[in-house]
Structure 1
Amino acid sequence: MDFSKMSCKEIEKYINNLDEKDRFSYIDILNQDSRKSVRKYALKLEKKQESINKEIKRLEELWQIEGRFFDLGYNLIAGLDEAGRGPLAGPVVASAVILPKNKIILGVDDSKKIPEKRREKLFKEIYNSALYVGVGIVDNRIIDQINIFNATKLAMKRAIYDLKIKPDFLLIDALELADINIKQRSIVKGDSKSISIAAASIIAKVTRDNLVREYDRKYPGYNFSKHKGYGTKEHYEAINKYGVTPVHRKSFLKNI
Structure 2
Amino acid sequence: MPHWAAGRVVAGVDEVGRGPLAGPVVAAAVILPAHAIPEGLADSKVLPAPRRVALDLVIRAGGHVGLGQASVAEIDAINILQATYLAMRRAIAALPVAPAHLLIDGNRLPPELPCAATTIVKGDGCCPSIAAASIVAKCWRDAHMCDLAQHFPGYGWETNAGYGSKSHRDALRNLGITPHHRRSFRPVHDILYQEETATG
TM-score when normalising by structure 1: 0.72
2:3 aligned to which of 69, 75, 82: 69
Number of the residue aligned with 2:178? 245
Number of the residue aligned with 2:190? 255
1:221 aligned to which of 146, 154, 162: 154
CA distance in 1, matches of 2:26, 2:161: 13
Q: CA RMSD in A?
A: 1.0
2:120 aligned to which of 173, 187, 204: 187
| Larger Rg, first or second structure (1 or 2) | 1
Mapping for residues 2-13 of structure 1, pairs under 5 Å: none
Match status 1:138 vs 2:80 = no
Tell me which of the two structures has the higher relative contact order, counting C-alpha pairs closer than 8 angstroms and 6 or more residues apart.
2
CA distance in 2, matches of 1:238, 1:164: 41
CA distance in 2, matches of 1:74, 1:158: 25
CA distance in 1, matches of 2:174, 2:7: 54
Match status 1:110 vs 2:43 = yes
After superposition, give the CA deviation of every residue in 1:9-38 in whole Å (9 maximum; x if it has no partner). xxxxxxxxxxxxxxxxxxxxxxxxxxxxxx
1:162 aligned to which of 84, 94, 112: 94
Contact 1:74/1:169 (<8 A) preserved: no
More helix by share: 1
CA distance in 2, matches of 1:169, 1:157: 13
Structure 1 gaps of 5+ residues are 1-65
Secondary structure of the equivalent of 1:251? Answer: coil
CA distance in 2, matches of 1:147, 1:103: 38
1:206 aligned to which of 121, 139, 142: 139
Number of the residue aligned with 1:148? 80
CA distance in 1, matches of 2:126, 2:158: 29
Match status 1:82 vs 2:51 = no
Equivalent AA in structure 1 for residue 53 of structure 2: E
Structure 2 gaps of 5+ residues are 192-200
Number of the residue aligned with 2:194? none
Percent of residue pairs bearing the same amino acid type: 45
Equivalent AA in structure 2 for residue 254 of structure 1: H
TM-score when normalising by structure 2: 0.91
Number of the residue aligned with 1:27? none
How many residue pairs match? The answer is: 188
Contact 1:74/1:168 (<8 A) preserved: no
Offset, 1:216 = 1.5
After superposition, give the CA deviation of every residue in 1:204-246 in whole Å (9 maximum; x if it has no partner). 0000001000112111111210111000000000000000000
Equivalent AA in structure 2 for residue 114 of structure 1: L
Secondary structure of the equivalent of 1:255? Answer: helix
After superposition, give the CA deviation of every residue in 1:144-166 in whole Å (9 maximum; x if it has no partner). 00000000000000001101121
Contact 1:123/1:203 (<8 A) preserved: yes
